[in-house]
């Protein structure tokens, strides 16, 4: 009652009536309990194994047997339920792209209104397949023997089935219809959305790797087979003819990112991504999405060269050679790990963080020991 008052203040009575009906459906199943003297096996046991129909599985009802109550299969379980519609469904595709699905019902003597529930499933591909089809889904509940569908997609094989329902229940769905596929040609896939450059790392020879990410399309007419990635760049200080370069590669259609390797530092890059689908021998291409970024490292070399200033800190000389990890970007900062072994066998790790502040370049050096972070030098 509280739910009806808050969610449907103008239709409070209708909401309560619907709730009471749903409750009655769960507690009182269709069909008649068999005569008590006809019970056999456990159904005839003198026990109180149930109190309501809701406690019994499937179509069974909680019925008396003369000395108790047990779950039993009722007689006439479809009493009062409408007959199934005829299994032949008619499909009419309109020029606007709408699909009309029609069916016809057998003669029914029913005082109560009859509601029709339409379900469908589909599969991609050149040929229909029930094994590769999606699960059945409810798509319409109507009181007439037809429905107009606006979301039918080309390149999909559809099957439909329909059930007639009234207050007493239903006899189930018709057998699956013959397969239907739209006569319209599929559309090209949409251009990749949310294109962005992320996760910049440095590899051998001071070359960079940049991850390009995008959002996969929700439901294209035809699945994306592959993505084509094009990238070009310019190098400052060179003529336009010498500084412009262009490359390309492909990525699987199920992936939403690709790594561009071997990029140069201090350069401006432009990346384009295009989705490609195949429908038979026809190639469908999306528009290209683009993103621009640069790989300026903000005087990384001069900053690293000041690392010997660690001598300003009161600490013992490290034993053994230093090990320098691969520089990488994290949270828009260039970082590098330096490792050495202190006397006594304790591993010490130094993390150098180079941070851009306004137009000046400052940095911080941290000493990490046993996961505790200690700032040991403010200016680099």
Burial class (CB in 10 A: 0-12, 13-18, 19+), 104: exposed
Residue 131 has pLDDT above 90, yes or no: yes
Output the pLDDT for position 267: 86
Output the pLDDT for position 110: 63
How confident is residue 225, by pLDDT bands cut at 50, 70 and 90? very high
CA 251, CA 273: separation in Å to the nearest integer?
A: 10
Q: Which of 339, 349, 351 is nearest to 304 (CA)?
A: 351
Quick: pLDDT tens for 274-313: 999 998 888 999 999 999 988 876 444 333 333 333 232 3
Output the pLDDT for position 200: 84
Output the pLDDT for position 313: 32
Residue 160 has pLDDT above 80, yes or no: yes
How confident is residue 67, by pLDDT bands cut at 50, 70 and 90? very high
For domain 90-173, give the CATH number: 2.60.40.10
Quick: pLDDT tens for 366-377: 433 333 333 333
Output the pLDDT for position 361: 37
Q: Which residues face 147 on adjacent strands?
A: 101
Output the pLDDT for position 201: 85
Mean pLDDT of 97-108: 88
**Long-range own/partner contacts, residues 47-55 (CB < 8 A, 24 or more apart):** 52/27, 52/28, 53/26, 53/27, 53/28, 53/29, 54/26, 54/27
Q: Do 160 and 128 meet the contact criterion of CB atoms below 8 Å apart?
A: no
Output the pLDDT for position 165: 92
Q: What is the mean pLDDT of the chain?
A: 79
Output the pLDDT for position 123: 93
Output the pLDDT for position 137: 97
Mean pLDDT of 12-36: 85
The residue ranking higher by pLDDT, 247 or 147, is 147
The residue ranking higher by pLDDT, 270 or 245, is 270
Mean pLDDT of 8-37: 85
Q: What's the pTM?
A: 0.61
CA 261, CA 279: separation in Å to the nearest integer?
A: 32
- The three-class DSSP label of residue 132 is coil
Output the pLDDT for position 8: 84
How confident is residue 189, by pLDDT bands cut at 50, 70 and 90? very high
Residue 9 has pLDDT above 80, yes or no: yes
Mean pLDDT of 84-93: 93
Residue 363 has pLDDT above 80, yes or no: no
**Long-range own/partner contacts, residues 280-286 (CB < 8 A, 24 or more apart):** 280/126, 284/186, 284/187, 284/188, 284/189, 284/222, 285/188, 286/188, 286/189, 286/190, 286/191, 286/192
Output the pLDDT for position 70: 95
How confident is residue 315, by pLDDT bands cut at 50, 70 and 90? very low
Range in 208-212, 261-265, 317-321, 357-361 the model is least confident about: 357-361
Mean pLDDT of 29-41: 90
How confident is residue 379, by pLDDT bands cut at 50, 70 and 90? very low
Residues of the chain with CATH 2.60.40.10: 90-173, 193-294
Count the Cβ atoms, other than its own, within 10 Å of residue 285.
Answer: 13
What CATH class has 193-294? Answer: mainly beta
Residue 7 has pLDDT above 60, yes or no: yes
Mean pLDDT of 109-114: 76
Output the pLDDT for position 341: 59
- Using the 8-state DSSP alphabet, how is residue 58 labeled? T
- Using the 8-state DSSP alphabet, how is residue 176 labeled? P
Q: Which of 331, 351, 353 is nearest to 200 (CA)?
A: 331
Output the pLDDT for position 294: 86
Range in 60-64, 169-173, 212-216, 348-352 the model is least confident about: 348-352
């Amino acid at each position: 009652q509280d739910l009806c008052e808050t969610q449907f203040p103008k239709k409070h009575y209708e909401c309560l009536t619907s709730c009471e009906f749903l409750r009655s459906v769960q507690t009182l199943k269709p069909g008649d309990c068999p005569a008590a003297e006809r019970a056999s096996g456990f159904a005839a046991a003198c026990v109180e194994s149930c109190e309501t129909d809701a406690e019994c599985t499937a179509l069974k009802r909680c019925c008396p047997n003369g000395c108790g109550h047990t779950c039993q299969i009722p007689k006439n379980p479809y009493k009062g339920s409408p007959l199934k519609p005829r299994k032949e469904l008619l499909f009419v595709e309109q020029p606007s792209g709408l699909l009309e699905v029609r069916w016809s019902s057998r003669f029914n003597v029913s005082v109560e209104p009859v509601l029709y529930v339409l379900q469908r499933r589909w599969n991609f591909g050149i040929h229909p397949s029930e094994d590769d089809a999606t699960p059945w889904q409810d798509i319409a509940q109507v009181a007439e023997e037809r429905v107009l569908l606006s979301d039918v997609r080309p390149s999909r094989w559809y099957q439909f089935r329909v059930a007639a329902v009234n207050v007493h229940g239903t006899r189930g769905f018709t057998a699956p219809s013959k397969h239907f596929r739209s006569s319209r040609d599929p559309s090209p896939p949409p251009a990749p959305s949310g294109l962005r450059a992320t996760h910049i790392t440095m590899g051998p020879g001071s070359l960079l790797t940049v991850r390009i990410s995008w959002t996969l399309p929700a439901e294209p007419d035809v699945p994306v087979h592959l993505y084509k990635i094009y990238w070009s760049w310019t190098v400052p200080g060179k003529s336009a003819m010498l500084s412009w370069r262009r490359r390309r590669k492909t990525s699987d259609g199920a992936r939403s990112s690709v790594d561009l390797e071997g990029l140069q530092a201090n350069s401006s890059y432009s990346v384009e991504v295009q989705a490609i689908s195949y429908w038979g021998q026809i190639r469908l291409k999306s528009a290209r999405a683009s993103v621009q970024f640069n790989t300026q490292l903000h005087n990384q070399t001069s900053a690293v060269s000041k690392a010997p200033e660690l001598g300003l800190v009161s600490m013992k000389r490290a034993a053994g050679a230093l090990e320098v990890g691969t520089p990488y970007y994290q949270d828009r900062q260039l970082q590098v790990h330096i490792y050495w072994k202190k006397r006594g066998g304790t591993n010490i790790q130094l993390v150098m963080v180079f941070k851009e502040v306004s137009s000046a370049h400052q940095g911080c050096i941290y000493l990490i020991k046993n996961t505790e972070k200690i700032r040991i030098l403010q200016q680099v």
